[in-house]
């Protein structure tokens, strides 16, 4: 369950952004938003690689 919790939260957050219309209006805003999401997922993957949940 610990493995899927961050991904579930990310999907819920992305759904809330789309539903409430918080998507940036400019292409620059969209690019920054995508970069932040990609960096966040990269950090999550790195954390899970360094500290695998099945070992803790």
Reply yes or no on whether the pLDDT at 3 is more than 70. Answer: no
pLDDT of residue 43: 83
Could you report the per-residue pLDDT of 9-41, keeping only the tens digit for each? 778 877 777 777 776 678 888 788 788 888 888
pLDDT of residue 31: 82
pLDDT of residue 1: 52
pLDDT of residue 9: 76
Instruction: Region of 24 please: left (phi>0), alpha (psi -120 to 50) or beta.
Output: beta
Quote the pTM value: 0.55
Domain residue ranges of the chain, discontinuous segments joined by +: 25-56
């Amino acid at each position: 369950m610990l493995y899927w919790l961050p991904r579930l939260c990310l999907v819920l957050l992305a759904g809330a952004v789309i539903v409430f219309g918080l998507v940036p209006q400019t292409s620059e805003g969209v690019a920054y938003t995508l970069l932040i999401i990609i960096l966040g997922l990269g950090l999550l993957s790195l954390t899970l690689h360094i500290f695998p949940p099945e070992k803790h």
